[in-house]
């Protein structure tokens, strides 16, 4: 299987949950408009005041998408 990376956007504060969910919606729309294949999109709670939105893509797209979307950070995606 192709190696994939998880691009992550961090949101902190009392409105972090709603902002992360809204950002994840835009990431889904972007993936559809750019015809990105094999993506995983969503948002997660880290703590009650720290939430993330994420987009998992194939590693060969990482540099291009990092420049376009400006994620906070990224990590190798492991599908356990």
Q: What is the pLDDT of residue 61?
A: 96
Residue 51 neighbours by CB under 8 Å, 6+ apart: 10, 11, 12, 16, 17, 19, 20, 21, 43, 44, 45
Domain architecture of the chain: domains with CATH: 4-77 (3.30.70)
- Per-residue pLDDT reduced to its tens digit, 8-54: 999 999 999 999 999 999 999 999 999 999 899 999 999 999 999 99
**Residue indicated by tokens 């998880």:** 6
Type and span of the H or E element at 12: strand 4-12
Can you give the pTM of this predicted structure? Answer: 0.93
Q: What is the pLDDT of residue 64?
A: 95
């Amino acid at each position: 299987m192709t190696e994939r990376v998880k691009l992550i956007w961090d949101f902190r504060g009392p409105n972090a949950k709603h902002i992360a969910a809204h950002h994840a919606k835009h990431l889904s729309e972007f993936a559809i408009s750019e015809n990105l294949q094999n993506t995983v999109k969503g948002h997660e709670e880290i703590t009650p005041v720290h939430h993330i939105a994420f987009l998992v893509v194939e590693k060969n797209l990482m540099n291009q998408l990092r420049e376009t979307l400006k994620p906070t950070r990224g990590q190798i995606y492991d599908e356990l």
